[in-house]
């Protein structure tokens, strides 16, 4: 994995080194803001071996007795697993013939239409449930879990359902943990010191990922390798480079970061990225606004804005250096489209030149381009990329001066929603809000 | 359909009225910038009845003889049809049991891995091809069409393929039109005065949409209804309200617009919207940056940024007033999650209160919220929404002072890419670019 930040003046990066040294030290020693939630920093090295083996065993069991896994979760309990599965197994995962179960993500919205589509898709197939929630009281997954638990018990009986419901939750406290203890569900732990958006390499992400047939050992091994690389202070550290470059650009007025990738299977990795950076940095009236595009498709939609719109953007391209696939351009004796000069060239080669041409075009247009190169589209490289982005995000949040590990703003809508729904104790506020809306 | 712009001061909106009057007049009379490309303004009323009937007939034939339709196109020849199909038939369209063909979109990227996944998904099923390109020389769809045309001829013979390849292209000129004439493919016209991002209600969008089993008469009837509403000048006109409100916000420093919807099936409509607005306005160093979120999922990812990040955002919520689906919260005698106060409430009701609670929370956080309400999730209402967004975009671009109907910035990457790929005539430039990259 390499990071190219040559689009940013070396002097601007150098000027941030003292801050980076402090941020790095705070992150590793657990002395910075929000340090109660920096367990992910050493996670790939200290993971609970027994629990990891249980995750793999549960995945095998689900693969054996289920055609569908329903993953009930929202936010960090949703995006990471979906992102990894779609990137490594393809965005058409559920549609393709394969020997691992379909994976459907539920409890991440309040759409009745969505819920009904999933019910139809599960049909009469055998299913298991992985409910993922620290507290067990978040509305979307809790409401969804009520439904699927009932259906599971109806179909398999109370005892049968016990063997098909897996909970990833707090080690000791919370409504969901209490339920698991009384019902006897197998449980996996969301560590106390790892927040949702940093949890993809805990059982939160690993169980669904393993069910989808991805090698979680490789994923963690890549993460552990990057943990070693990121632990070393200095500008050789790719996380230092990326954190410094994006903050230098932010301070120079580039307030929007567009994450780009040329692989359509990366779309949900970009969603994971947007949560990681947006939720970590978007507070106290500051933060780079994270956006994402999928190239080359979006060169024909958002490409115009990037090339010539307001010059408040910079771009970070995730480049997959050794794209798989050997498809090449077929010949056309009539050369109707005038593209015979491409005949025999592989799509991967054309894609690479599209990246290089776009890089220059956007740079020339005033959009600095950072490039994060990963070796291959595989679990090992993805593990590295995930840890890299996490570590750089921690550094970057400290450079910005915020606590990159809390999310105080997420409560505001929930409180209003509960009040408007007449939650006991919120009646007065509910009336007040309803009156505001009626105006 | 209603637009609520009460988040913006009436005085700020009123001050834009003179500009709106001019923009409205220019748009309807075809006297503004880029007026050669305003054919879409009157499209729902003047559409070619014969061709429209041929579109429906072709769709019926494809439904009868194909299990898969491959739609070859990029940009406006891709997003509109995909957006409408996913919104009205569900984002799981291809996965669900249904009596209409799967629809796969190809030629919108250069990923070999993507191409190989589609080949596997088509398998030995019967397929037809709809290639959509004004010129026929755009790299991504041209390369893809070479491949699928060859495969189709191999499978069905030259004569058989002739009955399975449909081209939507220029009426008279261009490489693709020439090929169609010599091969005898059925062709549909991309009107000269309608650009890609405004083309979803031409055969560009309508053929794939009809194949997916959507009532295109209803879609066009909704658009025609909105055409009548939008033709009337004045602040009663919802497009005037929306265009005025977003420009007032932009002028007050709100440079990012976040389009939000609570229906997960809306995700690709938001992609269509991002192209429409981003490509129309992102030029000459200006333009509102369009972003999108899917709620409530993204309240648990981008929600933190929206609530408390840099105060440069405003939000536009597309609200579906009468959500379908009757799912309700099931009871839990133990009330483990503490949500029994929701028992019996429909998901739609909870979703509505989530919207209302979020509206207030984000407004209180300093993010002005505009609300575009559509009546129902059906073709008629969607036709109205599409035309509304198109008309408002035309007005809005004129308010911004740009030509909302060109996209000069899309050429820059293509030129570089061709040069780097050694296109004849570009050799010198290719060497120059390669030298820059090697530095």
Residue A325's pLDDT is: 76
Q: Are A168 and A190 in contact (CB under 8 A)?
A: yes
- When the pLDDT of each residue in chain A is averaged and rounded to a whole number, the result is 96
Closest-CA distance, A97 to chain B, in angstroms, reads 8
Interchain contact, B326 vs A263, CB within 8 Å? no
> What mean pLDDT do residues B310-338 have?
91
Interchain contact, B296 vs A140, CB within 8 Å? yes
Q: Are B339 and A143 in contact (CB under 8 A)?
A: yes
Interchain contact, B313 vs A289, CB within 8 Å? yes
Rounded percentage of chain A residues whose pLDDT exceeds 70: 100
Q: How confident is the model at residue A439 (pLDDT cuts 50, 70, 90)?
A: confident
SS3 of residue B53 by DSSP: helix
The pLDDT tens digits of the residues spanning A89-113 come to 999 999 998 999 999 999 999 999 9
Residue A300 annotated to the active site:
yes
Any bridge partners for residue B59, and if so which? none
Contacts of B311 in chain A (CB under 8 A): 285
Please state, in angstroms and rounded to a whole number, the distance separating the CA atoms of residues A94 and A291: 26
Residue B324's pLDDT is: 72
The pLDDT tens digits of the residues spanning A268-297 come to 999 999 999 999 999 999 999 999 999 999
Residue A414 annotated to the active site:
yes
E strand or H helix at A356, and its extent? helix A347-364
Q: Are B134 and B190 in contact (CB under 8 A)?
A: yes
The pLDDT tens digits of the residues spanning A178-221 come to 999 999 999 999 999 999 999 999 999 999 999 999 999 999 99
* Order of strands across the sheet that contains B127-132: B102-106, B68-72, B127-132, B165-169, B186-189
Any bridge partners for residue A258, and if so which? A291, A315
> What mean pLDDT do residues A307-335 have?
92
Interface pTM, i.e. ipTM: 0.97
Contacts of A299 in chain B (CB under 8 A): 410, 413
- Nearest residue, CB atoms, A113 vs list B140, B263, B281: B263
- Nearest residue, CB atoms, B150 vs list A95, A330, A354: A330
Q: Are A71 and A104 in contact (CB under 8 A)?
A: yes
Interchain contact, B74 vs A345, CB within 8 Å? no
Reply yes or no on whether the pLDDT at A324 is more than 90: no
Interchain contact, A286 vs B121, CB within 8 Å? no
- Nearest residue, CB atoms, B110 vs list A274, A351, A416: A351
Reply yes or no on whether the pLDDT at B46 is more than 80: no
- Nearest residue, CB atoms, A346 vs list B112, B137, B360: B112
Residue B439's pLDDT is: 79
Record the tokens describing residue A235, joined without a space: 């500008």
| Closest to A387 in 3D by CA, of A294, A272, A305 | A272
Residue B174's pLDDT is: 93
| Largest pairwise CA distance in chain B | 76
Residue B325's pLDDT is: 76
Reply yes or no on whether the pLDDT at A46 is more than 80: no
Residue B45's pLDDT is: 79
Interchain contact, A413 vs B358, CB within 8 Å? yes
Q: In chain B, which residue's Cα lies nearest the Cα of A358?
A: B413
Closest-CA distance, A111 to chain B, in angstroms, reads 6
Residue A323's pLDDT is: 77
The pLDDT tens digits of the residues spanning B81-137 come to 999 999 999 999 999 989 999 999 999 999 999 999 999 999 999 999 999 999 999
| Closest to B209 in 3D by CA, of B19, B71, B323, B20 | B71
Contacts of A112 in chain B (CB under 8 A): 323-327, 346-348, 351
Rounding to the nearest 10 degrees, give the CA dihedral for residues B34, B35, B41, B43.
-100
Please state, in angstroms and rounded to a whole number, the distance separating the CA atoms of residues B199 and B430: 34
Residue B147's pLDDT is: 95
Interchain contact, B417 vs A263, CB within 8 Å? no
DSSP string for A91-146: TTGGGS--SS-EEEEESS---HHHHHHHHHHHTTS-EEEEEE-SSS--HHHHHHHH
| Best to test chain B binding among A165, A266, A270, A305 (most B CBs inside 10 Å) | A305
Residue B234's pLDDT is: 97
Q: Decide: residue A340, CB within 10 A, 0-12 exposed, 13-18 middle, 19+ buried.
A: middle
Contacts of B337 in chain A (CB under 8 A): 136-137, 142, 145-146, 175-176
E strand or H helix at A256, and its extent? strand A256-261
Closest-CA distance, A152 to chain B, in angstroms, reads 14
**What Cα–Cα distance (Å) separates residue A203 from each residue in A49, A277, A280, A438, B195?**
12, 21, 21, 45, 48
Closest-CA distance, A370 to chain B, in angstroms, reads 14
> What mean pLDDT do residues B352-363 have?
97
Count of beta carbons in the 10 Å neighbourhood of residue B372: 22
> What mean pLDDT do residues B338-345 have?
94
Reply yes or no on whether the pLDDT at A48 is more than 90: no
Record the tokens describing residue B190, joined without a space: 């991309």
Please state, in angstroms and rounded to a whole number, the distance separating the CA atoms of residues B72 and B60: 19
Q: Are A415 and A432 in contact (CB under 8 A)?
A: no
Please state, in angstroms and rounded to a whole number, the distance separating the CA atoms of residues B303 and B391: 29
Please state, in angstroms and rounded to a whole number, the distance separating the CA atoms of residues A315 and A366: 10
Q: Are A201 and A219 in contact (CB under 8 A)?
A: yes
Residue A45's pLDDT is: 79
The pLDDT tens digits of the residues spanning B284-297 come to 999 999 999 999 99
**What Cα–Cα distance (Å) separates residue B319 from each residue in B30, B359, B420?**
32, 11, 46
- When the pLDDT of each residue in chain B is averaged and rounded to a whole number, the result is 96
> What mean pLDDT do residues B181-193 have?
95
Reply yes or no on whether the pLDDT at A152 is more than 80: yes
Q: In chain B, which residue's Cα lies nearest the Cα of A139?
A: B339
Q: In chain A, which residue's Cα lies nearest the Cα of B177?
A: A336
Closest-CA distance, A3 to chain B, in angstroms, reads 15
> What mean pLDDT do residues B387-407 have?
98
The pLDDT tens digits of the residues spanning B217-252 come to 999 999 999 999 999 999 999 999 999 999 999 999
Interchain contact, A345 vs B311, CB within 8 Å? no
Reply yes or no on whether the pLDDT at A306 is more than 90: yes
Q: In chain B, which residue's Cα lies nearest the Cα of A366?
A: B285
Contacts of B416 in chain A (CB under 8 A): 356-358, 360-361
Catalytic residues of B: 279, 300, 414
């Amino acid at each position: 994995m390499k990071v190219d930040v040559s689009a940013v003046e070396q002097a601007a990066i150098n000027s941030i080194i003292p801050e980076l040294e402090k941020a790095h030290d705070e992150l590793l020693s657990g002395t910075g803001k929000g340090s109660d939630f920096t367990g992910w920093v050493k996670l790939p090295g200290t993971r609970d071996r027994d629990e990891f083996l249980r995750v793999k065993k549960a995945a095998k069991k689900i693969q054996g007795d289920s055609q569908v896994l329903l993953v009930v979760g929202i936010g960090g309990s949703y995006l990471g697993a979906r992102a990894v599965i779609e990137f490594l197994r393809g965005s058409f995962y559920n549609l393709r013939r394969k020997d691992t179960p379909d994976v459907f993500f539920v409890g991440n919205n309040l759409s009745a239409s969505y819920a009904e589509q999933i019910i139809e898709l599960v049909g009469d197939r055998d299913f298991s449930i992985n409910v993922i929630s620290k507290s067990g009281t978040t509305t979307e997954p809790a409401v969804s879990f009520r439904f699927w638990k009932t259906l599971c018990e109806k179909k398999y009986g109370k005892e049968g359902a016990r063997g098909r419901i897996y909970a990833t939750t707090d080690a000791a406290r919370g409504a969901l943990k209490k339920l698991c203890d009384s019902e006897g569900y197998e449980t996996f732990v969301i560590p106390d010191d790892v927040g949702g958006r940093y949890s993809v390499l805990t059982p939160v992400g690993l169980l669904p990922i393993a069910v989808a047939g991805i090698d979680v050992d490789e994923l963690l091994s890549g993460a552990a390798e990057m943990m070693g690389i990121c632990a070393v202070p200095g500008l050789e550290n790719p996380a230092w480079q990326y954190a410094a470059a994006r903050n230098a650009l932010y301070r120079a007025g580039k307030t929007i970061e567009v994450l780009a990738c040329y692989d359509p299977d990366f779309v949900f990795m970009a969603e994971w990225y947007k949560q990681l950076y947006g939720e970590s940095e978007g507070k106290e009236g500051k933060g780079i606004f994270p956006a994402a595009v999928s190239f080359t498709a979006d060169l024909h939609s958002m490409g115009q804005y990037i090339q010539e719109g307001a010059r408040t953007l910079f771009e970070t391209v995730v480049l997959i250096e050794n794209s798989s696939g050997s498809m090449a351009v077929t010949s056309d004796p009539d050369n109707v489209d005038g593209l015979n000069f491409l005949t025999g060239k592989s799509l991967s080669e054309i894609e690479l030149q599209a990246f290089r041409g776009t890089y220059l075009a956007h740079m020339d247009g005033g959009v600095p381009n950072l490039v994060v190169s990963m070796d291959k589209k595989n679990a090992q490289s993805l593990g590295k990329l995930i840890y890299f982005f996490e570590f750089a995000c921690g550094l970057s949040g400290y450079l910005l001066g915020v606590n990159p590990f809390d999310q105080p703003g997420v409560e505001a809508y929930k409180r209003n929603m509960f009040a408007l729904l007449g939650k006991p104790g919120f009646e007065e506020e509910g009336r007040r809000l309803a009156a505001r809306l009626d105006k």
